[in-house]
Chains A and B, each alone.
Chain A
Amino acid sequence: MGSSVADGAKLQPSRAGSRLCVRCGERKAALKRPKTLEQICRECFYIVFEDEIHQTIVDNSLFKSGERVAIGASGGKDSTVLAYVLSELNRRHNYGLDLFLLSVDEGITGYRDDSLETVKRNEIQYGLPLKIVSYKDLYGWTMDDIVKAIGLKNNCTFCGVFRRQALDRGAALLKADKIVTGHNADDIAETVLLNILRGDIARLSRCTFITTGEDGPIPRCKPFKYTYEKEIVMYAYFKKLDYFSTECIYSPNAYRGFAREFIKDLERMRPRAILDIIKSGENFRISTTTKMPEQGTCERCGYISSQRLCKACVLLDGLNRGLPKLGIGRTKAGDGKEHAKHSERSTSSLQGKHGNFDF
């Protein structure tokens, strides 16, 4: 990197660390910004990092003054940095937001209990109130119980569906106007790719929205939509933020892994590729005749659902009746006939087998 140093004469020759920050031109550059590869100092990094998020918030009018905003906090790097930066920006730019932390306790021993300790520390460090909702309270099952019942396959389906609803319920309980999550640019780019890989045009069209669920009771937004994961890690590292960095013990998901690895390779080759993927996702010409699922409400719990019963209720039903496979796979919720037709077709046809990605 240090091949074209013009100021090499007065400084030590070609030690990357001895260069000046390209932004302020005063301090020594301390890092290479992952997004742009510019060499900048730590202070400037904080400034550009926070300013970009502020800009995203302002440009997309994510918040209105006086709103109660729940920060989905897992104790991981993304949500920890989100909580920190958001409370900083709220103070600095007078957003007038009433922020609090909202955590979901899935009941995973050796993982979530530890990460929740981190969130509890954050509560004190950032002075944000914390609310924890647990699967046990909401559904009567912990993830540990669920895994015992169904094994390590498909358990992420349960967790994902339950978490989504748990966050909404927790937020509703605390009368929040909005939920913010720590999804970063890498996550969104990955989701765009995965939706292409599995032909899910409906999700493809909305996975790049910065705010979703605006028609529902509590919209969710992603202030880190354009923030690179590497920069979040860097920010947490330099600011010495207290976060929890262990993978879920039940998690390893091969498909996500594929796409994630691909994105990392891409980023190495061309950092802006992540933003380009998001841009592509935003600009896709989704035909207006494409069938989109109709949004309704679950007959049992009243949660938004495109089916008669929401996915969580179907899954829960299966668990409680000792048929945990119910609701997993491509069949429609609780429709026996449909199920039979499907399995019959899938054994005899050439096409229609394009796998099933789980989250």
Chain B
Amino acid sequence: MAAASACRGAGCGPHCSSPSAAGAEEGAPAERMGRLSIAAGATTTCGKCDGGGPAVAVSGGAGMCQECFRAYLFGKFKLAVTSNAMVRPTDAVLLAFSGGPASRVALQFIHEMQSKAIQSWETSNLQALPAFGVGVGFVDESALSVRPEHETETATEDIKSIVSSLSPGNKQVHFAPLGDVFSSGSKDKAARLKEVLGMIDDETGRDDFVQCLRMLSLQKIALENGYTKIMLGTCASGIACHVLSATVKGQGYSLPADVQYVDTRWEVPVVLPLHDCLAQELSLLCELDSLKTQQLLDRPCSGINSLVASFVTRLREENPSREHTILRTAQKLKPFPFNKFSANGYHDFLPSRLRPKFQNVDTNESTFSEILCLICGSPFSESELQNLENTKHKAQKKIDLYTAHCCQSCHFQILPAATDTYAHFFSLLPKFWTEKVDAASASNSSLRDQIEDYLLEEDDVN
């Protein structure tokens, strides 16, 4: 159980809205904290400011006092935000909040950046750079597990009170049940969600599928409410877990797409400002700063994702900086063109002193034509592309096209075992996913429609 929750959102990379409070909400947080402070006990003064005060240790390094520790984490966050141009002054940022320490810290930090922006807007004469907006999105997964109603209510209230305590800057909170992503025509969305999940045999597959839905929910909230960025609290520990679990699932090719700071393959771009912070550090900060977290509604991850999480926990015990090393390995892999914001006109909004940083981004890669998996959004590897091409040429059934648009990993762990249930399975999926394939194949199928009456093969008709 402890191991399972260690990766809350870990095996998920950018698909995760409840970003990796990894290791934080484990069974024995006190023990964990204890380890950190024991390490600190050796160093009585802060390694940074040489000031007194009780020091805390960061992974594998010297002790720091509370102030410096906070500044260290905030520095990492801010560096990630500014050097990747994550937030423009005109942006409205939707922060995906799970209630866990990682997204709690992200919320705190982005709030601080916003307060500062508001302050400088108010004091500046020109008022040229507006302050960006922040909203909070919470994906409610209570439909997936049986929970007493009062727990859900408490959690909801808590989240509202956490967000409302952050001012200035009015922050709206959006609660979205996971089932909402299913097409509005269906009467009972929760039932539909359960039916689809029931068709997925593989435990890991179900877990990953829920993560895909979670991302879709966030996209939906963002689109419907005019947000221009989605900010996740996915941290280094969560990414390290994802690196291993993606490798284990055979997604080596698409892996680099998920471990970058910026991911623009979705309609609303996703940013990961806590990319370089460890889960342990984030939960320690919550503890030190008494940032309230709310994890009543957390579901432990399962299957391979949970196995990987416990493996990473073990590695961390043996060497506290192992997660960073894993992350470093993944960062040596080549990212995809959609892993950065395109250069054109974008940086005009940046403060002038930052602009030079982005001048020499090469633009010839700015258009990407990657084929993405229908379900998980992974870019296709060569063999998957090959398969898709072959299917496009011979297949006339839409179901074949749908399946060819799923990556090999989703094919194995998410699609139902019996091929004759594919039609039903795809009909249940959120329209958002299937529509893309429909659009792509529209030209082809309309041709077919014209000659439909003259075709003899019955099973050929979709």
Contacts and interface: CB of A to CB of B under 8 A. Distances in A.
B313 to A, nearest CB: 12
Given A280-B246, A351-B324, A287 B314 contact: no
A101 B58 CA distance: 53
Nearest to B327: A199
B307 A262 contact: yes
A281 B253 CA distance: 9
Nearest to A280: B252
A276 to B, nearest CB: 3
A201 B329 contact: yes
Interface in B228-274: 243-244, 246-253, 255-256
Interface string A182-205: 000000000011011111110010
B246 to A, nearest CB: 7
A269 B60 contact: no
B311 A269 contact: no
Contacts of B255: 280, 284
Interface in A334-359: 350-351, 353-355
B33 interface: no
Interface in A267-317: 269-270, 272-273, 275-277, 279-288, 290
B247 A199 contact: no
B247 A277 contact: yes
A200 B333 CA distance: 11
The 5 A-B residue pairs with the shortest CB-CB distance, nearest first, are: A280-B252, A276-B250, A350-B61, A283-B253, A285-B334
Nearest to B252: A280
B75 to A, nearest CB: 13
Contacts of B168: none
B304 A269 contact: yes
Given A193-B244, A270-B304, A279-B250, A285 B333 contact: yes
A6 interface: no
A12 B409 CA distance: 38
B162 to A, nearest CB: 32
A351 B60 contact: yes
A351 B320 CA distance: 11
B318 interface: yes
Nearest to A265: B307
A279 B252 CA distance: 7
A161 B311 CA distance: 29
Nearest to A287: B334
Given A197-B315, A258-B314, A350-B61, A266 B332 contact: no
Contacts of B409: 276
B51 interface: no
B326 interface: yes
A353 B60 contact: yes
19 contacts: A192-B247, A193-B244, A196-B330, A197-B315, A197-B326, A200-B329, A258-B314, A262-B307, A270-B202, A280-B250, A280-B251, A281-B247, A282-B252, A284-B333, A286-B333, A286-B334, A351-B321, A353-B319, A354-B322
A353 B321 contact: yes
Most chain B beta-carbon neighbours within 10 Å: one of A280, A281, A350, A355 = A280
Main secondary structure of the interface of A (DSSP, over half): helix
B351 interface: no
Contacts of B314: 258
B364 to A, nearest CB: 16
A329 to B, nearest CB: 15
Contacts of A275: 250
Contacts of B130: none
Interface string B167-210: 00000000000000000000000000000000000101000000
Contacts of B83: none
Nearest to B321: A354
A200 B325 CA distance: 9
Given A280-B250, A280-B252, A285-B253, A197 B58 contact: no
Interface residues of A, number: 37
Nearest to B64: A350
Given A279-B250, A351-B321, A196 B329 contact: yes
Contact of B325 (A192, A197, A262, A279): A197
Contact of B322 (A192, A197, A204): A197
Nearest to A348: B62
A265 B326 CA distance: 20
A281 B60 contact: no
A262 B381 CA distance: 26
B424 interface: no
B349 interface: no
Interface string B267-286: 00000000000000000000
Interface in B320-358: 321-322, 324-326, 328-330, 332-334
Most chain A beta-carbon neighbours within 10 Å: one of B248, B303, B325, B330 = B248
Contacts of B329: 195-201, 204
B432 interface: no
Given A258-B315, A276-B250, A353-B60, A196 B244 contact: yes
Contacts of B252: 279-284
Nearest to B303: A269
Given A266-B248, A283-B253, A286-B333, A354 B325 contact: yes
A9 B409 CA distance: 38
A7 B315 CA distance: 48
Contacts of A258: 311, 314-315, 318
Contacts of A272: 412
Contacts of B250: 275-277, 279-280
Contacts of B326: 196-197, 199
Contacts of A193: 244, 247
Nearest to A291: B332
A255 to B, nearest CB: 8
Contacts of A204: 329
Given A283-B253, A284-B255, A354-B319, 11 more contacts: A196-B243, A201-B332, A258-B311, A273-B304, A275-B250, A276-B250, A351-B324, A354-B324, A354-B325, A355-B319, A355-B322
A132 B251 CA distance: 42
Contacts of B247: 192-193, 196, 276-277, 280-281
B319 to A, nearest CB: 5
A299 to B, nearest CB: 30
Contacts of A201: 329, 332
A287 B318 contact: no
Contacts of B324: 351, 354
B47 to A, nearest CB: 8
A156 to B, nearest CB: 18
Contacts of B60: 350-351, 353
